Each structure stands twice: as structure tokens, then as C-alpha cells.
Amino acid sequence: MKYVKLLAGVLSGYAIMVILITVVQEGLFGGVGWGQSSLGVLAAAGLGTFLSAVAGAFAGTKIAGGARWVVANVMSMLVVTETVVTTLDGTLTGPLWFDLMSSGSLIVGIFLGAALFMRRLPIRRAAEA
């Protein structure tokens, strides 16, 4: 059961991150990319993308039952794998440094989200109030 929760946490956290990134980059900004977006749009979308990674890792860690570093490491490996594949197949059209910085910010956001899960404010139960 422990591994099922862990797998569910990783997959759910990654899916949440991807959905939020899509909402930020496509929904809010109508598509973001190097050479097609202004510096302001790139900065705002970058911040939104980073926060999407934080939220995804936070949720994934919650679903997994608190195995924060396992969730963060596996989600980060998925980001690295996706970056390598999309770079090699030509899907990514920006400069390599831009795409690597984007992936790096996702990884930092993932670890921050996992760390924040353990620092969250305690939730009072109705019986205690």
C-alpha cells in the first residue's frame, strides 16, 4: 500500500504540475516561447511555471503520505527525462540555455514544494476546536 500511495503521489503531483503549467502558459498568456513572447511575458510565465511546480510537488507529497524527498526526486527525474527527449527530438525551439533554465526552475520548485509540505501550518481538527 505504501508504494501505491507513493506512485499515486508522484503521478498526481506531476499531472497537477503539467495542468497548472498549461493553464499559465497557454490559458493566461496564449502561448509562451523564446522569440515570440516579450521579456515581461517570459518573466511572468516563468514565475507561474515555477509556482506550478511548487504546487504540484506539494500536492504529490500530500497524496504520497509525506515521502517528500522520494516524490521530489522522482518528479525531478521525470522533468530531466522530458527535457532530454524534447531537446533531442527537436520539440524545443528555444536556445538550449533557455530550456535548461526552465527545467532547472521546475526542479527547484519541486524541491521547494516538497519542503514546504513539511513546514505547513498544522490543521486543527474540529474536535480540538
- 92-109: pLDDT as tens digits: 888 999 999 999 999 999
Quote the crossing angle between the two packed helices 2-22 and 68-88, to the nearest 10°. 50
Find, among 55, 73, 45, 37, the residue nearest to 109 by Cα. Answer: 55
Task: Record the pTM.
Answer: 0.87
Residue 116 has pLDDT above 80, yes or no: yes
pLDDT at residue 51 tops 70 = yes
Sequence spans of domains, the chain: 2-119
How confident is the model at residue 35, as a pLDDT? 86
Worst-scoring range by mean pLDDT, 46-60, 81-95, 107-121? 107-121
Which pLDDT score is estimated for 128? Answer: 44
